[in-house]
Chain A
């Protein structure tokens, strides 16, 4: 019987002999929790937004799309806490429902671009040589296309809505993730424990997926969290410009657009409320991302 190549048969035995890399487990999470009240508030905000998005139909006091033209631009009262927009729709209800598209779009962009970018970054870092050069130059080329312009182009080719901008933004964000992952993976790869695994016959796949990737995951999570905020802002921008989520669907960017006209009538809430929601969400994601990054930096030290 011929033994399988050692490189393809990761076994627990050699792993046990390797000096294990620093583990990021519950202690690391506890460290995160100790980031301070701002971080905690940001996390709470994001949780609240996520809950609003998931339970919008149960939380929103009114149907976000039902118009009441006789109640156009009504001020705040017990029935409409944030007043109504020009079509008489409840601003608060649209804000709550807007969290759905507001979070879903960036979630898709970040999830897909993180998976693709991580895969590309790891391959580039691990293989090096011409593979690294090819992937890196390809990612550089993709950098030439600003996300917004790519999204507008996609909308022109397909049609306005959430799908085309999400695809375009995913394409635009993937090289960012790829380049970042390559960068941290190259550093991680240079650590002794990686070489130890390789010497002991672990396959590239096994070392990468079982050790390298888990060890750089916090970095990727930090990067993704910040990217989430950027993606949210850009998708809202596209909706504001009329290229993203389409009326009458409640969406923060669309709401800002629709609320503009009311400013001339000194009715600020229809535009101000979604603006505030976008700012709060982006800042919260930024704080959480920064918090995770800080924790990683402390760990590295």
Chain B
């Protein structure tokens, strides 16, 4: 799971979470009903294009896959670097740079690499490259952002010229799945050694196997990608020769650039712009599946929120529909669980059914007041972090404040400077004095265990250090369950506990978006595609 990060980012972002659809059977919803239609794809590109321009809401801090823990770097790297496995547009996991992967016993994963794959410098990929790439995550000196994916890894070794074997200390199904995202990236070992500390920065760049090469990185302006003629997957041969990804942080400027045709497309548009983009005639706005939900994560159980009755009270009092209407312009639905129905890729029928069967989180001020009284929490202070540049967070925080006011809690907002918001998720000291954080945790893989596993005690994103023995045991059991249906059944139980105990208070689900101008088409409006699939290789001329 990764987190909606900073302010600058969230400001620009607008919508990233959720698995909602245009309509919902959730009785408390209806905010987004009929307002938008979900698309699994956009019309395929019809022909070659010499060059195209794409809007990024922020400049990547690094293109080193170790630190690709945010939307901008992953949006770029999805086209430049590849992983051992691949998450497909239909949210399934398929072989990627590994032609096959096996699990001879619960503690062993064997990956056999695809033959004839070339790096951008023309050298051929071997097991040495894959081993070197994965081992970088294991070196504490590298401080990989993805170290959590490797927490149960005992060793990564070369077991053949084109084969590597990963030994685990205990069964961990998620490890294998996460090799379809940044943790599974393969870079040339020789290039890693040559670039050293410059690897991934504008000087050192990267040298991977994707359909696009990183041609140039103009700091503060753009990243230019160029079609890689030696790309191995002929099904994803780019139709766009040159793709310029321009950094446009200001939401209004980004929207105007799309409307004017200055840029040809962009993911993750501000919710406030949806109506304008949809009606513009300058292109088309598509809504797609999102694997995350916006939640108010409990960051401190030492205060009033240590009592589950207070968490429930706040959950009962918050006006989710109001937030959807005001912050998302109606493009979303109130959440029912901390992970959306769309996150259930491994068991789309039973998992989604279990999610949909959850009762709606209806507003009940009287019941909430009663809970606060029972908990003896009247007048107690709860501090909610907020950032003014992100409407979905600032309005969500305002709604929590109003909810507290309505039920006798003293909810105080603490505004965080835009650039400091990221630190709340990476630095525990930055969370000092904060009880609730609004963020979107989303799944990179089709398995909602990825999200629910982060609420296990001791996990890095379990900000409030919430502990529940039953929950912890279930996470271990699920991680050891090879059968997806069995794992999904266990994860459903995790979902039930999470909804009951509320270590994260679900707020709202909202669709994922992509806008395509009149020149190009083919981008898939799905979050996991933008982050891990060579989406730009699907682009082509619109006519």
What CA separation (Å) do A83 and B134 show in the bound complex? Answer: 56
B394 in contact with A247 (CB, 8 Å): yes
A87 in contact with B395 (CB, 8 Å): yes
Q: Which among B272, B323, B386, B391 has the greatest number of chain A C-beta atoms within 10 A? A: B272
A242 in contact with B389 (CB, 8 Å): yes
Interface members, chain B 227-286 (any A CB < 8 Å): 251-252, 255, 270, 272-273, 275-276
Could you say which of B188-196, B291-299, B324-332 contacts chain A? B324-332
Please judge, given known A-B contacts A87-B326, A247-B386, A260-B252, whether A155 and B417 are in contact too, CB under 8 Å.
yes
| Interface 1/0 per residue, B305-339 and A, CB below 8 Å | 00000000000000101110111010000000000
Closest to B414 in A: A246
A262 in complex: contacting residue of B255, B272, B402, CB < 8 Å = B272
Please judge, given known A-B contacts A160-B415, A247-B388, whether A264 and B399 are in contact too, CB under 8 Å.
no
A261 in contact with B270 (CB, 8 Å): yes
| Interface 1/0 per residue, B338-351 and A, CB below 8 Å | 00000000000000
Q: Does A210 contact B (CB under 8 A)?
A: no
Contacts of A86 in B (CB 8 A): 326-327, 391, 395
B413 in contact with A246 (CB, 8 Å): yes
Q: Which among B7, B270, B416, B417 has the greatest number of chain A C-beta atoms within 10 A? A: B417
A264 in complex: contacting residue of B272, B321, B417, CB < 8 Å = B272
Number of A-B contacts (CB under 8 A): 85
Could you say which of A65-73, A179-187, A220-228, A286-294 contacts chain B? A65-73
What CA separation (Å) do A246 and B394 show in the bound complex? Answer: 11
Closest to B387 in A: A242
A261 in contact with B251 (CB, 8 Å): yes
Closest to A246 in B: B415
B418 in contact with A69 (CB, 8 Å): no
What CA separation (Å) do A265 and B319 show in the bound complex? Answer: 22
Contacts of A243 in B (CB 8 A): 417
Q: Does B521 contact A (CB under 8 A)?
A: no
What CA separation (Å) do A248 and B402 show in the bound complex? Answer: 11
Q: Does B79 contact A (CB under 8 A)?
A: no
Q: Does B401 contact A (CB under 8 A)?
A: yes
Q: Does B398 contact A (CB under 8 A)?
A: yes
Quote the shortest CB–CB distance from A208 to chain B (angstroms): 43
| Interface 1/0 per residue, A134-158 and B, CB below 8 Å | 0000000000000000000001100
Please judge, given known A-B contacts A248-B398, A260-B252, A265-B275, whether A242 and B388 are in contact too, CB under 8 Å.
yes
Quote the shortest CB–CB distance from A42 to chain B (angstroms): 31
What CA separation (Å) do A66 and B398 show in the bound complex? Answer: 9
Contacts of A69 in B (CB 8 A): 319, 321-323, 325-326, 395, 399, 402
Interface size class of B (residues with CB under 8 A): 35 or more
Interface members, chain A 220-257 (any B CB < 8 Å): 241-243, 246-248, 254, 257
| B interface: dominant SS | helix
Q: Does A59 contact B (CB under 8 A)?
A: no
Contacts of B386 in A (CB 8 A): 247
Contacts of B416 in A (CB 8 A): 160, 242
Q: Does A263 contact B (CB under 8 A)?
A: yes
Please judge, given known A-B contacts A69-B395, A248-B398, whether A254 and B326 are in contact too, CB under 8 Å.
no
Contacts of A155 in B (CB 8 A): 417
Q: Does A188 contact B (CB under 8 A)?
A: no
B326 in contact with A248 (CB, 8 Å): no
Contacts of B395 in A (CB 8 A): 69, 86-87
Q: Does A258 contact B (CB under 8 A)?
A: yes
Q: Does A88 contact B (CB under 8 A)?
A: yes
Quote the shortest CB–CB distance from B325 to chain A (angstroms): 6
What CA separation (Å) do A243 and B387 show in the bound complex? Answer: 11
B402 in contact with A67 (CB, 8 Å): yes
B415 in contact with A66 (CB, 8 Å): no
What CA separation (Å) do A243 and B270 show in the bound complex? Answer: 23
Quote the shortest CB–CB distance from A163 to chain B (angstroms): 14
B276 in contact with A265 (CB, 8 Å): yes
Q: Which among B326, B413, B414 has the greatest number of chain A C-beta atoms within 10 A? A: B326
| Interface 1/0 per residue, B366-401 and A, CB below 8 Å | 000000000000000000001111010011011101
A265 in complex: contacting residue of B321, B329, B387, CB < 8 Å = B329
A70 in contact with B325 (CB, 8 Å): yes
Closest to B255 in A: A264
Interface members, chain B 1-28 (any A CB < 8 Å): 7
Contacts of A156 in B (CB 8 A): 417
Contacts of B7 in A (CB 8 A): 242
A257 in contact with B398 (CB, 8 Å): no
What CA separation (Å) do A260 and B394 show in the bound complex? Answer: 13
Contacts of B255 in A (CB 8 A): 264
Quote the shortest CB–CB distance from A53 to chain B (angstroms): 22
Closest to A243 in B: B417
Contacts of B415 in A (CB 8 A): 160, 242, 246-247
Quote the shortest CB–CB distance from B244 to chain A (angstroms): 24
Contacts of B397 in A (CB 8 A): 247
Contacts of B323 in A (CB 8 A): 69
What CA separation (Å) do A248 and B396 show in the bound complex? Answer: 12
What CA separation (Å) do A265 and B325 show in the bound complex? Answer: 13
What CA separation (Å) do A243 and B398 show in the bound complex? Answer: 19
Quote the shortest CB–CB distance from B326 to chain A (angstroms): 4
Contacts of A242 in B (CB 8 A): 7, 387-389, 415-418
A66 in contact with B329 (CB, 8 Å): no
Contacts of A72 in B (CB 8 A): 322, 325-326
B272 in contact with A87 (CB, 8 Å): no
Quote the shortest CB–CB distance from B389 to chain A (angstroms): 7
Quote the shortest CB–CB distance from B63 to chain A (angstroms): 27
Quote the shortest CB–CB distance from B322 to chain A (angstroms): 3
Please judge, given known A-B contacts A86-B326, A254-B388, A265-B276, whether A67 and B252 are in contact too, CB under 8 Å.
no
What CA separation (Å) do A28 and B338 show in the bound complex? Answer: 70
Quote the shortest CB–CB distance from B10 to chain A (angstroms): 11
- 13 further A-B contacts with Cβ under 8 Å, apart from A257-B389, A261-B251, are A66-B402, A67-B399, A72-B325, A87-B398, A160-B417, A241-B417, A242-B7, A242-B416, A242-B418, A243-B417, A257-B388, A264-B251, A264-B270
18 A-B pairs whose Cβ atoms sit less than 8 Å apart in the complex = A66-B402, A69-B319, A69-B322, A69-B402, A70-B322, A87-B394, A88-B326, A242-B7, A242-B389, A242-B415, A246-B415, A247-B388, A261-B270, A262-B272, A264-B251, A264-B255, A264-B272, A265-B273
Please give the residue numbers on chain A whose beta carbons come within 8 Å of chain B beta carbons, in ascending order.
Answer: 66-67, 69-70, 72-73, 86-88, 155-156, 160, 241-243, 246-248, 254, 257-258, 260-266
Query: What 6 A-B pairs have minimum CB-CB distances, sorted nearest first?
Result: A69-B322, A72-B326, A246-B415, A264-B272, A264-B273, A69-B326
